[in-house]
Amino acid sequence: MGAILGLRCRECGREYPAEPIHVCEYCFAPLEVVYDYDEIRSVISPKSISEGPRSIWRYADLLPGGEKRVDLGAGLTPLVPAPRLGAELGLHDLWIKNDTLNPTHSFKDRVVSVALTVARDFGFNTVACASTGNLATAVAAHAAHAGMSAYIFIPADLERGKIVATAVYGPQLVAVQGTYDDVNRLCSEIAGQFEWAFVNVNIRPYYAEGSKSLAFEIAEQLGWRAPDHVIVPIASGSLLTKIRRGLDELVKVGLLDGHQARISGAQAEGCSPVATAFKAGEDHVRPVKPNTIAKSLAIGNPADGYYAIKAARESGGVMESVTDEEIIDGISLLARTEGVFTETAGGVTIATLRKLAERGDVKPDERTVALITGDGLKTIEALVDRAGPTMTIPPSLDAFAAQLESKN
Amino acid sequence: MTVDASTVREMVADLERQHPGIRDRICEESGEIRRFVNVFVGDEDIRFLQGLDTQIPPGTQVSIIPAVAGGR
């Protein structure tokens, strides 16, 4: 299981051995993986990492999971400067972390690669998940690669592209007539009945650790320096929490001298329980019924909402939400200015970034990284009315010349 | 089970009387309900009512449910 010491309750601190469990049996709080940072510090270095695999597993010392990895090549995606988008938003040092370039085109490949590696270490042959699409696709692909059986539970009204892109890998794909929160609740019950590795239930403490690799890569790609500000989309809140934990760990093991990165969160107005609580100055997230085109972020009852709020607040970050219209504008803006086509979740990130920049919450000279977590081809439905041919002509040169004339 | 209480605070005290040790499972040392325990009076989470001082009308059903961590 790598260099991990075990699991620890995030609230009461009780310790547990590394097993497929996710909740403290005493106080019901989530469990988190514990590492021996002194030991890791003695073996890890920029050199050891740069000599590692070209995937998230170059950071294996800071991830759970043994040597027999389920690795489709997730991670090490480009971190690119975004000067044209920056100019539109008045930001002078803006970067895009382009996680659309993962094996199944979303950041979920990171968490799933870790989850399936750990599941296999535990001896499971069957993996399962509740998902709104990106996780479903990532689990299906990695299970196929590893020769494991997969049961995947999705809301029945998911985008067709996500259903096809999951079904093609041959899992048992169960369409549940309900919202994601209904699917999630059902899976908690199923997980109690069947001896399966549910990546986001009993394997969740390990699975969630995979998200830290985004923070590790950003620091490595900036020459082992932390950014000043990271803009993170929020669904369950886990990613935002893990970005902070990842940067903190790099300090603990001596790869960063320190960091003052502000972590800010982005939500869709049609499902913004975390941003709403943050803005009201509260800790507790009041569940909502989602209604937004950003389906990959539509968790009405986010498990890590409390921790995301805490991480944003303690780091000096903020949270904001944006309308569906702003999300679509965000997708178009990013594509037009930087040549990166993102799904609706990335539209949420860009639209929120725009709002925060206008307000001065993202400062012009801050080195800011926006996380683009999924590919636009996953949610083309969102843009079909907005993106199409700019002219339609018969196959004749005269017709083209006439159209061009009338346009200019 | 049935308890003799008119507020959530009294309910916790009566539960502890009937089942010693249960208070520590659902409450912090400060007495507040633990972060990952949800208490519903009727259908409403007491965090969005008056917390421990939430009134429990006679005959009302109160549910104590661990918040099951999940999500993508």
Closest listed residue to residue A116, CA positions, set A199, A57, A216, A41: A199
Contact map slice: B 9-48 vs A, CB within 8 A: 25, 34-37, 45, 47-48
Q: Residue A151 pairs with which residues in a beta bridge?
A: A128, A172
Cα–Cα dist A331/A167, whole Å: 26
A296 neighbourhood in chain B, CB within 8 Å: 72
CA distances from A187 to A53, A120, A134, A153, A198 (A): 34, 20, 17, 8, 8
- Residue ranges per domain, chain A? 79-105+209-383
| Contact criterion met (CB < 8 Å) for B25 and A303 | no
CB count within 10 Å of CB B56 equals 19
B contacts of A200 (beta carbons < 8 Å):
70-72
Contact A142, A72 (CB under 8 A): yes
CB contact under 8 A, A286 and B48: yes
Note the pLDDT of residue A181.
81
Q: Where are the domains of chain B?
A: 8-66
Q: What is the pLDDT of residue A188?
A: 83
- What is the DSSP secondary structure assignment for residue B34, as one 8-state letter? P
Dist CA A197 CA A195 (whole Å): 7
- The pairing of beta strand A149-155 with beta strand A126-130: parallel
The structure tokens listed for A263 are 């972590």
| CA pair distance A359, A14, nearest whole angstrom | 42
Do B36 and A28 count as a contact with CB atoms less than 8 A apart?
A: yes
> How close is the nearest chain A Cα to the Cα of B29, in Å?
11
The answer to whether residue A20 neighbours chain B at the CB level (below 8 Å) is: no
In contact, A154 and A171? CB cutoff 8 Å: no
- Residues A49-106 have pLDDT tens digits of 999 999 999 999 999 999 999 999 999 999 999 999 999 999 999 999 999 999 999 9
SS3 A211: helix
ipTM of the complex: 0.82
Task: Give contacts of A23 with chain B, Cβ < 8 Å.
Answer: 36, 66, 68-69
What is the least distance, in Å, from the CA of B2 to any CA of chain A? 23
Inter-chain CB proximity B36 and A135 less than 8 Å: no
Q: How many CB pairs under 8 A join A and B?
A: 69
Do A100 and A110 form a contact (C-beta atoms < 8 A)? Answer: no
Q: Do B72 and A299 touch (CB under 8 A)?
A: yes
pLDDT score for A236: 94
Task: Considering only the beta carbons, identify the residue of B48, B67, B72 that sits closest to A200.
Answer: B72
User: Residue A312 contacts by C-beta under 8 Å, 6 or more apart in sequence?
Assistant: A240, A263, A264, A265, A278, A318, A319
Query: pLDDT confidence of B71, banded at 50, 70, 90?
Result: very low
**What 3-state DSSP class applies to B39?**
strand
Task: Pick the residue of A27, A108, A132 with the most B CBs within 10 A to test the interface with B by mutation.
Answer: A27
For the domain with range B8-66, which CATH number is right: 3.10.20.30, 3.40.1350.10, 3.30.420.40, 3.90.1150.10?
Answer: 3.10.20.30
Over the range A205-239, which residues count as b (16 or more CB within 10 Å of their CB) and which as e?
bbbbbbbbbbbbbbbbbeeeebbbbbbbbbbbbbb
Phi-psi region of A360 (alpha: psi -120 to 50; beta: other; left: phi over 0): left
In chain B, which residues have their Cβ closer than 8 Å to the Cβ of A306?
Answer: 35
pLDDT of residue A331: 98
Q: Per the structure block, which two tokens stand in for A357?
A: 């920049």
Contact B44, B62 (CB under 8 A): no
Nearest to A222 by CA among A188, A184, A250: A250
Contacts of A249 (CB under 8 A, 6+ apart): A35, A37, A62, A212
Indicate the SS3 state at residue B64.
strand
Can you give the C-alpha Rg of chain B in angstroms?
12
Give residue B72's pLDDT. 41
- Burial code (b: 16+ CB inside 10 Å, e: under 16) for A325-343 equals ebbbbbbbbbbebbebbbb
Tokens standing for residue B68: 């099951």
Contact present, A349 and A233 (Cβ < 8 Å): yes
Can you spell out the DSSP letters for A32-85?
EEEE-HHHHHHH--HHHHHTS-SSGGGGGGGS---SS---S------EEE-HHH
C-alpha span between A255 and A61 (Å, rounded) = 13
Min distance A41 CA to chain B CA atoms (Å): 30
Residue B68 has pLDDT above 70, yes or no: no
- Residue B70's pLDDT is 46
Put simply, the answer to whether B72 touches A235 (Cβ < 8 Å) is yes
| Residue A1, pLDDT score | 52
- Candidates A311, A295, A297; CA nearest to A266 is A297
- Report the pLDDT value the prediction gives residue A408, as an integer from 0 to 100: 77
Q: Which residues of chain A have pLDDT under 50?
A: none
Please give the pLDDT value at position A134.
94
Burial classification of residue A389, based on how many CB atoms lie within 10 Å of its CB (0-12 exposed, 13-18 middle, 19 or more buried) = exposed
Smallest CA–CA separation between A301 and chain B, in Å? 8
Which residues from chain B sit within 8 angstroms of residue A304, using beta carbons? 69, 71
List, for residues B45-67, the tens digit of each pLDDT value: 898 899 999 999 999 999 988 77
Q: What is the CATH number of domain A79-105+209-383?
A: 3.40.50.1100
Instruction: Give the H/E segment covering residue A191.
Output: helix A180-193
A12 min Cα distance to partner chain B (Å)? 9
pLDDT score recorded for residue A301:
87
Q: Do B71 and A304 touch (CB under 8 A)?
A: yes
